[in-house]
Amino acid sequence: MLVYLRLLKESFSFALNALRNNKLRTFLSLLGVTVGIFSIIAVLAAVDSLDKTIQGQLSSLDSNTMYISSMSFGPTEVPRWQRETFEEVSYNEFKSIQTTVQDVEHVALQLFVKRENIRYESELVSSVNTVVVSHEFIDIQAMQFEKGRFYNEVESNSGRPVVVIGSEIAKSLFVDLEPIGKKVRLYGQKFTVIGVVKKEGSGIFGDSNDVSIFLPANYVRNRYGDNNPFIKYVVIVKPEKDADIEGVKAEITQVLRSKRGLKPDQIDTFFIRVMSGLQDVIDAIIGSLNVIGWVISGFSLLVGGFGIANIMFVSVKERTNLIGIQKSLGAKNKFILFQFLFEAVILAVVGGLVGLFLVWIGTLIGSSLIEDFEFVLSIQNMFLGFFISSVIGLISGVIPALAASRLDPVEAIRTGM
List, for residues 26-72, the tens digit of each pLDDT value: 677 667 777 777 777 777 777 777 777 666 665 555 677 889 888 87
Tell me phi and psi for residue 64, to 5 degrees: -95, 0
Residue 151 pLDDT greater than 90, yes or no = yes
Residue 306 lies in a domain: yes
Residue 139 lies in a domain: yes
DSSP code of residue 18? H
Looking at residue 374, its amino acid is: E
Could you tell me the residue range of the domain that residue 340 belongs to?
2-58+281-416
> Quick one: 230 and 114 in the same domain?
yes
The per-residue pLDDT for range 229-282, each reduced to its tens digit, is 888 899 999 888 888 888 888 999 999 999 888 888 888 888 888 876 566 666
Angle between helices 333-369 and 275-318 (to 10 degrees): 140
Residue 272 lies in a domain: no
Decide: 88 and 233 in contact? Cβ < 8 Å: yes
> Quick one: 95 and 143 in the same domain?
yes
Mean per-residue pLDDT over the chain, rounded: 79
Decide: 49 and 359 in contact? Cβ < 8 Å: no
> Quick one: 30 and 136 in the same domain?
no
The per-residue pLDDT for range 292-308, each reduced to its tens digit, is 777 776 776 777 777 77
> Quick one: 121 and 192 in the same domain?
yes
Residue 72 lies in a domain: no
- Percent of the chain at pLDDT > 90 equals 18
Decide: 174 and 163 in contact? Cβ < 8 Å: no
Nearest C-alpha neighbor of 165 from the set 111, 116, 108:
116
The pTM assigned to this predicted structure is: 0.64
Decide: 267 and 65 in contact? Cβ < 8 Å: no
Helix (H) or strand (E) holding 197: strand 189-197
Decide: 276 and 249 in contact? Cβ < 8 Å: no
CA dihedral 135, 54, 270, 71 (to 10 degrees): 100
